Amino acid sequence: MQETLHLEIVTPEMLAYEQEVIQVDIPGTSGDLGVLPRHAPMIVTVRPGVVTVFVNKQTKQCLFITGGVAEITPDRCTILATALVDLDKADKQFVLKQQQDIEHALKIATKDDEIAKLQHKLDELNSLLRAL
């Protein structure tokens, strides 16, 4: 029997993903990180990008997260993500429309905090579009 670790991805709204996996690749802020069973314990910050989940040797799933924090123990990996998108179910046209709407809003925004929030959202959408 193959060794596994328990993966959970939690967003502010819910437990978005839970699965026993053989490996998970995480986009850390200091570089990508491959997590296998019996990994050394650590906490890492996560940048927007693709989390690649290897359920077994034949099955992998790609999920996009918009950043967060990951806690890794020898038998568990928990990612606290600000948002999660299953790339197999993502609608590229919808994301492109959101990008256009935010670019338009940026052109007419006048307050610094509003501009910063819109720019942050635009950066997340651009990362998601690159992943699609």
The Cα–Cα gap between 90 and 63 comes to 10
What digits encode the pLDDT tens for the residues 70-125? 999 999 999 999 888 887 777 777 777 777 777 778 777 788 888 787 777 778 77
Burial-class residue 72 by CB neighbours within 10 Å (0-12, 13-18, 19+): buried
SS3 of 61-90: the string is: EEEEECCEEEEEECCEEEEEECCEEECCCC
What is the average pLDDT value for the chain, to the nearest integer?
87
Domains and CATH numbers, the chain: 5-86 (2.60.15.10), 92-131 (no CATH)
Is a pLDDT exceeding 80 seen at residue 38? yes
Percentage of the residues of the chain whose pLDDT score is greater than 90: 50
β-bridge partners, 84: 65
User: What is the per-residue pLDDT for 110?
Assistant: 80
Tell me the three state secondary structure of residue 113. Answer: helix
Tell me the three state secondary structure of residue 106. Answer: helix
The Cα–Cα gap between 6 and 74 comes to 10
1 pLDDT band, cuts 50/70/90, is low
User: What is the per-residue pLDDT for 15?
Assistant: 93
User: What is the per-residue pLDDT for 71?
Assistant: 97
Q: Which span out of 22-26, 64-68, 82-86 was modeled with the highest average pLDDT?
A: 22-26
